Every structure is written in structure tokens, then in C-alpha cells.
């Protein structure tokens, strides 16, 4: 039946019958029957909070999490006076779906930005603590899997898999993995790019203990938490500044050689070029940029050893593109 505005309406008796049948089925844990009776009430826009909650509970019990999530988000947006009621249900949906990270992130935001009634805050905090613990346990198990995956990739000399496994591990705090990975930082069988990724993971995870790294025949001791990020290092900024004229005159060439510079320095990380290497590296990048774009260039003949850096930059670029991709 339609009203004068063309909207579908529900006969009052049908509405009463569906409410009674649906809520009885819910009470008796006949969730399919409950959902079948209660859904039309929601579809027609005549469901009260009890009916909507009943449908959500039925869907959750039946495992229809996508439908429950969509409806719950809608109610949170529209029923402001029932916001925390539906927030609690929404968290239940996430919990049943093992989406602990989303619960922790959501409640971090809620606790920070919203003035929550005391009793509700207590309930949410309990859910937060349980989810955080389950998230930690889940990450530890995943971490163990990734560690075994990394070791298998080393055994099979699969550099792609080594790289991507470290990428997955960077989603976790490195603290509990440091001891396991220390030998890899010194091993000659681990690719320099993979070592760069491990050191970067340690740096971002705030590892403030000294680690030993072997790269290009050099053994160095570094404290990852004290290392600068690649894009903010003084030497890289100095090189970019010396290439500033190219950035103004030929932005395309500058973008290309800046990418070459980044990949080259990432390959070496955390062993940045020193002051003496800067002019040689700048000249090497200029020559490569002009050669790649086939633009005439008069090289600086006064600099000795530029070819060595050109070869290194190109080799690092090939390795980077092969292992990491564009």
C-alpha cells in the first residue's frame, strides 16, 4: 500500500503481527524466523529501537555481519539518543568478526573525542581491554608465522618473499623480534635492500639498543631509534638542493633523478653518502638524467670517479625495481 506521497506504508495490524512474531522468535532463539519477521518493519521505516536491536541480534547470531554492520552504522548516524546503544552493538559485530584492530582504533578515537557517560565508558573500556589483548595475541601468532616465512624465504633464496614478509612484519612492533633478526643484519646472504627494510622497521618501532649491521663489506653499529628518515637526512637535502636548477628547468628530469637518488640511498641505508661523495653523486645523477632523456650535456671533467657512481646508481635502481617494484 502507498500513501499520498507515493511511499510504501504498512497496515497497523500487519505491523503488530510482525512485531509479535519476530520478538517471540527472538526470545525462543529462532533467529531465521525472527529476522524474516523483523526486517520488513525496518524496511518500511516503522521499527522501534527494540525491533531494530532484535533484527541486529538475529543477524549477528546468523553470521550476517555485513547486513548488521550496515544497519548499525545507519542507526548510529540517525538515532543520536541511542548512539552508545548501537555503538555497543557495532563493537559486538566487529568482535564477532575478529576485527580487533578496528575496535581498538575506533575506541581510541571515541575515548579521545567524546564525553561518554560513566557507566558506558566502563563497559566500553572492558571491551577495549579484551580486544587489545586479543589483538596482541593475534599479532604475536602472525609474527611467528611471518618469521618462519622469512626464514623459509632465506633458505630458498627468494628475495621477493623476504621483502614482502618484512613489509608484513612492519605492521607490528619490532620489540619481540629484535633478537631473532640481529643475525640477519650481519649475514652476507641477506640482500642490502632487505637489511634496509629491517633497519627502517626497527627505527620506526623505536628500538633504542645498539645493533650491528654489515653492508658492502663494512660493519657498523647503529641505534635505530636515533637514525633519521631517508627523506629528511641532511646529505640527501644537500644533494637535492644542488639539483634545484634542474627542478626549475626540467621538472620531469628532476622527478626521475630524485627517484634514482632515493632508491640509491635506500639501498645504502643507513650508510648515507658523505660530504666528499656529494659532488660526485650530483654529477652522476645529472649525467644519467640527460642520458635517459637524450638531452645534450657537458659533463664536469674536473671530477674523477663519476662513472663509478653512475654504475652504482643504475645497479641499485635495477635491484630496487626488481625486488620492490615501482
Cα 189 to Cα 154, 162, 215, 245, distances in angstroms: 8, 12, 11, 41
Residue 90 near residue 69 (C-beta atoms within 8 A): yes
* Grid cell listed for 222: 647503529
Confidence class of residue 2 from pLDDT cuts 50, 70 and 90?
A: very low
**The predicted structure's pLDDT at residue 4:** 35
Q: d(Cα 264, Cα 272) in Å, to the nearest integer? A: 10
First vs last Cα of the chain: how many Å apart?
59
Task: Report H helices in 44-177.
Answer: 49-62, 65-78, 83-96, 100-113, 118-155, 159-169
Confidence class of residue 296 from pLDDT cuts 50, 70 and 90?
A: very high
Q: d(Cα 211, Cα 220) in Å, to the nearest integer? A: 8
* pLDDT at residue 250 is higher than 70: yes
Number of CB atoms found within 10 A of residue 108's CB: 12
Q: How much of the chain, in percent, has pLDDT values that exceed 70?
A: 96
Selecting from 1.25.40.10, 3.20.20.80, 3.40.630.30, 3.40.1390.20, what CATH number does the domain 12-97 have?
A: 1.25.40.10
Q: What does the pLDDT average to over 70-95?
A: 92
- Asked if the domains 12-97 and 138-226 are classified in one and the same CATH topology, the answer is no
- Please, which residues bridge with residue 222 across strands? 211
Q: What does the pLDDT average to over 89-110?
A: 93
* Exposure class string for 204-242: b at 16+ Cβ within 10 A, else e: ebebeeebebebeeeeeebebeebeebeebebbeebbeb
**The predicted structure's pLDDT at residue 252:** 94
Residue 219 near residue 212 (C-beta atoms within 8 A): yes
Q: d(Cα 191, Cα 180) in Å, to the nearest integer? A: 17
CA angle 246, 251, 237 (to 5 degrees): 60
How do 218-222 and 211-215 pair as beta strands? antiparallel
Confidence class of residue 29 from pLDDT cuts 50, 70 and 90?
A: very high
**The predicted structure's pLDDT at residue 326:** 57
Domain borders along the chain are 12-97, 138-226, 230-323
Cell numbers 650481519 label which residue? 186
* Grid cell listed for 202: 626497527
pTM of the predicted protein model: 0.71
Name, in order, each residue with C-beta under 8 angstroms of 224's C-beta and a sequence gap of 6 or more.
Answer: 199, 202, 203, 205, 206, 207, 208, 211
**The predicted structure's pLDDT at residue 100:** 93
Confidence class of residue 45 from pLDDT cuts 50, 70 and 90?
A: confident
* pLDDT at residue 145 is higher than 70: yes
Q: Is 78 helix (H, G, I), strand (E, B) or coil?
A: helix
Q: What does the pLDDT average to over 179-188?
A: 93
**Average pLDDT score over the chain:** 90
**The predicted structure's pLDDT at residue 136:** 87
DSSP structural state of residue 2: B
Residue 219 belongs to what H/E stretch?
Answer: strand 218-222
* pLDDT at residue 61 is higher than 90: yes
Cell numbers 524466523 label which residue? 33
Residue 200 near residue 182 (C-beta atoms within 8 A): no
Confidence class of residue 213 from pLDDT cuts 50, 70 and 90?
A: very high
Confidence class of residue 9 from pLDDT cuts 50, 70 and 90?
A: low
**The predicted structure's pLDDT at residue 28:** 95
Q: What does the pLDDT average to over 101-120?
A: 87
Q: d(Cα 224, Cα 265) in Å, to the nearest integer? A: 16
Q: d(Cα 52, Cα 301) in Å, to the nearest integer? A: 79
Residue 22 near residue 51 (C-beta atoms within 8 A): yes
Selecting from 3.30.1790, 1.10.10, 3.30.70, 3.30.43, what CATH number does the domain 138-226 have?
A: 3.30.1790
Q: d(Cα 225, Cα 217) in Å, to the nearest integer? A: 23
Amino acid at each position: 500500500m502507498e500513501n499520498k506521497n507515493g511511499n510504501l506504508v504498512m497496515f497497523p495490524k500487519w505491523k503488530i503481527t510482525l512485531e509479535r512474531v519476530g520478538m517471540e522468535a527472538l526470545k525462543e532463539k529462532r533467529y531465521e524466523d525472527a529476522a524474516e519477521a523483523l526486517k520488513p518493519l525496518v524496511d518500511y521505516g516503522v521499527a522501534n529501537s527494540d525491533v531494530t536491536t532484535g533484527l541486529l541480534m538475529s543477524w549477528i547470531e546468523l553470521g550476517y555481519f555485513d547486513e548488521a554492520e550496515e544497519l548499525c552504522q545507519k542507526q548510529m548516524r540517525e538515532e543520536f539518543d541511542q548512539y552508545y546503544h548501537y555503538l555497543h552493538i557495532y563493537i559486538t559485530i566487529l568482535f564477532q568478526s575478529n576485527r580487533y584492530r578496528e575496535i581498538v582504533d575506533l575506541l581510541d578515537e571515541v575515548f579521545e573525542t567524546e564525553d561518554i557517560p560513566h557507566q558506558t565508558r566502563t563497559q566500553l573500556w572492558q571491551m577495549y581491554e579484551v580486544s587489545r589483548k586479543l589483538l596482541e595475541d593475534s599479532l604475536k601468532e602472525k609474527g611467528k608465522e611471518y618469521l618462519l616465512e622469512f626464514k623459509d624465504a632465506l633458505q630458498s633464496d627468494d628475495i621477493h618473499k623476504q621483502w614482502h614478509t618484512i613489509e608484513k612484519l612492519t605492521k607490528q612492533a619490532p620489540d619481540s623480534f629484535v633478537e631473532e633478526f640481529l643475525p640477519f643484519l650481519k649475514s652476507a646472504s641477506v640482500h642490502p635492500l632487505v637489511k634496509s627494510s629491517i633497519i627502517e622497521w626497527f627505527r620506526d618501532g623505536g628500538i633504542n639498543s645498539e645493533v650491528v649491521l654489515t653492508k658492502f663489506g663494512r660493519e657498523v653499529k647503529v641505534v635505530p631509534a636515533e637514525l633519521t628518515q631517508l627523506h629528511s637526512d641532511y646529505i640527501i637535502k644537500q644533494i637535492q638542493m644542488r639539483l634545484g636548477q634542474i627542478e626549475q628547468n626540467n621538472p620531469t628530469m628532476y622527478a626521475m633523478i630524485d627517484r634514482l637518488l632515493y632508491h640509491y640511498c635506500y639501498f645504502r641505508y643507513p650508510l648515507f653518502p658523505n660530504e666528499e661523495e656529494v659532488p660526485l653523486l650530483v654529477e652522476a645523477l645529472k649525467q644519467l638524467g640527460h642520458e635517459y632523456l637524450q638531452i645534450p650535456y657537458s659533463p664536469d671533467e674536473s671530477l674523477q670517479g663519476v662513472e663509478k657512481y653512475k654504475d652504482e646508481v643504475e645497479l641499485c635502481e635495477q635491484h630496487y625495481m626488481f625486488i620492490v617494484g615501482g
